[in-house]
């Protein structure tokens, strides 16, 4: 696991109780290990209990992905976009035409990708 991601998870969820035995100094990425974005002035639309969408976040993810494809082409890197909501997945699928990149959290669990976008929509506490 990338040391920066491990450090964040270890600190945030486990109170720094774990120690890493791997050294990933050889990793040289064009992007940071993890970034948390807050899309200001966006709002969730609740269509049914547990089913939300956010069009501004979908636009943001599409724009970010388009720029990243210029730096790190889809043909050379594996990408994954996950969201917990069916409606948000549908909204993103209408924008992103790249195959096998978008799914619900349950469906992408256990699969490895070079770059993962986790779109939570209601992430207020981070």
Which CATH code of 3.30.420.40, 3.40.50.300, 3.40.1310.30, 3.40.50.150 fits the domain covering 36-118? 3.40.50.300
**pTM (2 d.p.):** 0.66
pLDDT in tens, 64-120: 999 988 888 888 888 989 988 888 888 889 888 888 888 888 887 778 888 888 887
- Give the pLDDT of residue 63: 92
**Across 7-11, average pLDDT:** 85
C-alpha–C-alpha distance, residues 107 and 87, integer Å? 15
- Give the pLDDT of residue 122: 62
- Give the pLDDT of residue 30: 61
pLDDT over 70 (residue 125): no
Give the start-to-end residue ranges of the domains of the chain: 36-118
Q: Residues near 92 by Cβ (< 8 Å), separated by ≥ 6?
A: 58, 61, 62, 81, 83, 102, 119
């Amino acid at each position: 696991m990338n040391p920066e991601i491990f450090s964040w998870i270890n600190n945030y969820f486990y109170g720094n109780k774990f120690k890493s035995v791997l050294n990933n100094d050889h990793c040289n990425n064009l992007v940071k290990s993890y970034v948390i974005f807050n899309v200001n002035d966006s709002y969730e639309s609740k269509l049914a209990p547990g089913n939300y969408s956010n069009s501004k976040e979908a636009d943001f993810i599409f724009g970010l992905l388009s720029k990243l494809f210029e730096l790190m082409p889809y043909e050379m890197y594996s990408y994954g976009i996950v969201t917990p909501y069916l409606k948000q997945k549908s909204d993103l699928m209408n924008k992103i035409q790249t195959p096998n990149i978008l799914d619900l959290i349950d469906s992408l669990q256990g699969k490895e990708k070079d770059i993962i976008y986790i779109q939570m929509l209601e992430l207020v506490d981070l």
